[in-house]
A and B are shown apart, each in its own frame.
Chain A
């Protein structure tokens, strides 16, 4: 790790401020710019939470999971049920109870998504380890089955997901408005980032995971059960997707069954931009995507559709392996 930090590559970090400053002349006023930037960073943080799950599963385990979106949707739908079951806490104007309600919701969503992830790994993914083509096809099938099962359980219609009372509204900072919920999203995102980097780089489990990615047989020969470890990684990735789903649902304030598939497209772009298996790359990619989505949504809504693809193309022309590739395949 020390060797890594010595030659840490700082250049890509400049991408985010450069992108933000480039748009400054187009936004009209500084306060609009600040609002957009903060909103974009918050959206980026939510996308990062989701993408971090996929970066574990795809980047480290080499499972091209197109079914990741199901866990996002699942998290959001669990949130509607759990928050709906706590009208006292989420309706309270007390900050403390609101945060308890949200925290509990996130916990339940992560547990449910993780448990479903374990089943998904066993039934869908396990028979096709190491076969990319089949993985893509099978996980796509798994995604459709999952989406339809969610429709069976919660119904096909869109469900409103209201923010707890205390998180409504925004802080005014000069003319710039910063929504309270977005601050919460940033806090959660930073927390996830710190925990992931710590676990992967500073703990024995992280060491084993990284070693297993590099040379699976060697780690097995040393007596570690890499299979169990990788199941854990898949479950953790699914749980993170569930957590991201809760945040995304609260961010959109309503939940549809297509939600996961829509976000998944953004997440793929983030993963490709960030580089395989890289948590920092995923963070940078997610921030760029979030900013880009908010800026173009405001300046040129029609361009918003293709802006993220254009961004990805630009990044890949600069670094064909992604920003911080950890795994070379």
Chain B
């Protein structure tokens, strides 16, 4: 049964299985274990990022393509929900409409970029996606009437999902059962289904071809697989998953702007999580997203303390200032690419085998 659900891709390490079990249980019971709004927000963000990072891993880890346009599709999903909800009000139909429109746009955009640039030369793909993504980001900021520009869009979600809806008058196990909680569990369920679907994809014959292309493009082509077709399919699939992840983010935040979904920092977070967690293992996305997002919430606090501790040395203090947290993320990133190329999951699997 478990084998079927996980598509026969077991964690293959006792430690990894234990860690995954703890993390998943912690996510499921977050509202009951860690009280407070901040913890619930972090948990929801982790769920969304697990989907986003797994979809990126499908592209980078399994197919060996570097794309910097991943946050563009994430942003399209988020803007789809935000724009549809702003225009036609907080109804289920506008959520559905926004999501479908965003999926269609992502599909054609990914197909266009993929067919064009993957055909020319695979290493150009990274550059071309970077160019397209930066143009798209500027476009989103400039179309002020539709996207709200740099300020973004605040909107309402259907009443069932809003915090004002309470299902029980008395708290259950100390937790108020409101629409926010329902929204969290809905996201968790969708996230879990998407994750299992991706696990199914990478362990299918299709996924095997993708990995063959990653290992040896020439040989895969010689065996009769059209590399361009498979690469494009992989990039379209990952764009669609990223788009759904963006929609989930918008529903949860009830807000979307360029900084939350399109910005380069989000792309950097995704890269860092996927590399830390382990390329080519979807489980890495779970471990990476949990560790990274929890650390991110506290890294700035740690830096603030450190910066105050060394306030006597101006340069050192400036280096440790909480505004410079991206610097330390960058250092962490470079170090993890060097010394941790297989990521947490790869390391755990190797030590157990």
Residues of A that sit less than 8 Å from B by CB:
64, 66, 124, 127, 132-134, 136-138, 140-142, 144-145, 148-149, 151-152, 156, 261-262, 265, 268-269, 271-272, 302, 305-306, 308-309, 312-313, 316, 320, 329
Contact = CB atoms under 8 A, between A and B. Distances in A.
Contacts of B301: none
Interface stretch (B48-56, B156-164, B195-203, B329-337): B329-337
A306 B337 CA distance: 33
A137 B337 contact: yes
A116 B139 CA distance: 34
A278 to B, nearest CB: 15
A144 to B, nearest CB: 4
B210 interface: no
Contacts of A144: 268, 326-327, 329-330, 333
B121 to A, nearest CB: 8
A124 B334 contact: yes
A66 B116 CA distance: 21
21 contacts: A64-B123, A127-B338, A133-B60, A134-B341, A137-B337, A140-B271, A140-B333, A142-B330, A144-B327, A144-B330, A152-B315, A152-B318, A152-B324, A265-B131, A268-B128, A271-B127, A305-B135, A309-B135, A312-B128, A316-B120, A329-B121
Interface in B294-347: 315, 318-319, 323-324, 326-327, 329-331, 333-334, 337-338, 341
Interface of B is mostly: helix
Nearest to B119: A320
Given A138-B337, A144-B327, 10 more contacts: A64-B123, A134-B337, A136-B66, A137-B275, A148-B327, A152-B315, A152-B318, A271-B127, A272-B127, A305-B142
B131 A269 contact: yes
Contacts of A145: 327, 330-331, 334
A89 to B, nearest CB: 30
Nearest to A155: B318
What's the dominant secondary structure at chain A's contact region? Answer: helix
Contacts of A132: 123
Contacts of B66: 133, 136-137
A133 B64 contact: yes
Contacts of B32: none
Contacts of B268: 140, 144
Contacts of A124: 334
B132 interface: yes
B12 to A, nearest CB: 24
B177 interface: no
B159 to A, nearest CB: 38
B134 interface: yes
Interface in B58-107: 60, 64, 66
Nearest to B131: A265
Interface string B126-157: 11101110110011001000000000000000
Interface in B263-300: 264, 268, 271, 275
A272 B128 contact: yes
Given A64-B126, A132-B123, A305-B139, A141 B330 contact: yes
Interface of B: 60, 64, 66, 116, 119-121, 123-124, 126-128, 130-132, 134-135, 138-139, 142, 264, 268, 271, 275, 315, 318-319, 323-324, 326-327, 329-331, 333-334, 337-338, 341
Contacts of A302: 142
Contacts of B116: 313, 316
B331 A320 contact: no
B120 A320 contact: yes
B327 A305 contact: no
The 6 closest A-B pairs by CB, nearest first: A148-B327, A144-B330, A268-B127, A145-B330, A141-B334, A141-B333
Contacts of A141: 330-331, 333-334, 337
A43 B132 CA distance: 21
B55 to A, nearest CB: 18
Contacts of B329: 144
A309 B131 contact: yes
Nearest to B320: A152
A64 to B, nearest CB: 6
Contact of A156 (B128, B130, B323): B323
B231 to A, nearest CB: 14
B81 to A, nearest CB: 24
Nearest to A134: B337
Nearest to A149: B327
Most buried by B among A136, A142, A269: A136
Contacts of B337: 134, 137-138, 141
B296 to A, nearest CB: 15
Most A CB within 10 A of own CB, among B119, B134, B315, B318: B134
Nearest to B136: A305
Contacts of B333: 137, 140-141, 144
Contacts of A305: 135, 138-139, 142
A130 B279 CA distance: 19
A99 B66 CA distance: 44
